[in-house]
Each structure stands twice: as structure tokens, then as C-alpha cells.
Amino acid sequence: MGILANIFSKIFPSSHPANASPTGATPGGSTTVTTTPAATTPSAVATAPPVDVDQVLSDMASKNPEKLNWRTSIVDLMKLLGLDSSLDHRKQLATELHYSGDMDDSATMNIWLQKQVMQQLAANGGKVPAGLVG
């Protein structure tokens, strides 16, 4: 499961199309499960009720003992969701989202990641305030 899929699973209900897991049988009878938010069909997302991302994350933040600025910080967003926010994991997320910039410039990459994650949430059925989509 990719990092973006992990983010989606923490924000969207398990029944939401953004959490859909296409499955396929492999030789030998085992089953592979791939969770790829990009694989979600636009029609499936369009029929699902939108998820108020701001409300979900604000509720989580109100219950968190740390004061996390998830609206502008990818690190704080990942911490809020209980995900590893290390530079290595943020680089993996950047690769997953096809970041073409310098991954050694973590400040620029982090700003890009925050905007991309919000855009991906919006594109997959999340109601994201316009100021966060960027």
C-alpha cells in the first residue's frame, strides 16, 4: 500500500471509492491487492458523498495533544494521521506523486507535497477548502 493510499485510508471511510482495492488472482492461487487512489473511477467518486476533509482533520487535531498545523505542513499532516513523517517517507510520497523537483530541497518538496495531497484528496471525493488546494 502506498503512502497516499495510507493517507486516504485515514481520512475517507473504508467504504469510500478512494479506498477501493482492485484485486487479482496470481498464479498459484494467491491474491494480490493493490491500493491505488488513481485507479478509482471518476464515476465511482462522483456517486460517493463528499468527505469534508477539513472537518475530519480538524476533529482529529482537536483530540491530538500536539498542536499540529496540518493545513500548511505535510509533516504535521502525516503526524496527525499517525504516519511516518520522516524525510525518507516524504521522498517516497514525492516519488509516488511524480515530483520532478530536487528532493534534497526538502522545504520546496514539502510545500509541493502538501498541495498535491490536498489536490488528490479533492480529486478523489474530498471536500477541501479552496485555500488548501492551492
pTM, 2 dp = 0.79
What confidence score (pLDDT) does residue 15 get?
83
* Cβ atoms of residues 75 and 88 within 8 Å: no
The span from the CA of 48 to the CA of 43, in Å, is 9
- For helices 87-96 and 106-123, angle between their N-to-C axes, nearest 10 degrees: 50
Residue 104's pLDDT is 96
Q: Crossing angle, helix 3-11 and helix 87-96, to 10 degrees?
A: 90
In the chain, the number of structural domains is 1
Look at the block and give the residue holding cell 493517507.
Answer: 7
Q: What is the pLDDT of residue 27?
A: 37
Q: What residue numbers bound the domain in which 44 lies? A: 3-133
> Which pairing describes strands 126-127 and 31-33: parallel, antiparallel, or unpaired?
unpaired
Query: Which residues of the chain, if any, have pLDDT below 70?
Result: 21-47
CA separation for the pair 44, 65 (Å, rounded): 36
Say what the pLDDT of residue 87 is.
Answer: 98
Q: Which residues contact 6 (CB under 8 A, 6 or more apart)?
A: 81, 83
pLDDT at 42: 56
Q: What letter represents residue 65's amino acid?
A: P
Longest pairwise C-alpha distance within the chain? 49
User: Of 37, 51, 45, which Cα lies nearest the Cα of 96?
Assistant: 37
Residues 54-89 pLDDT 10s? 999 999 999 999 999 999 999 999 999 999 999 999
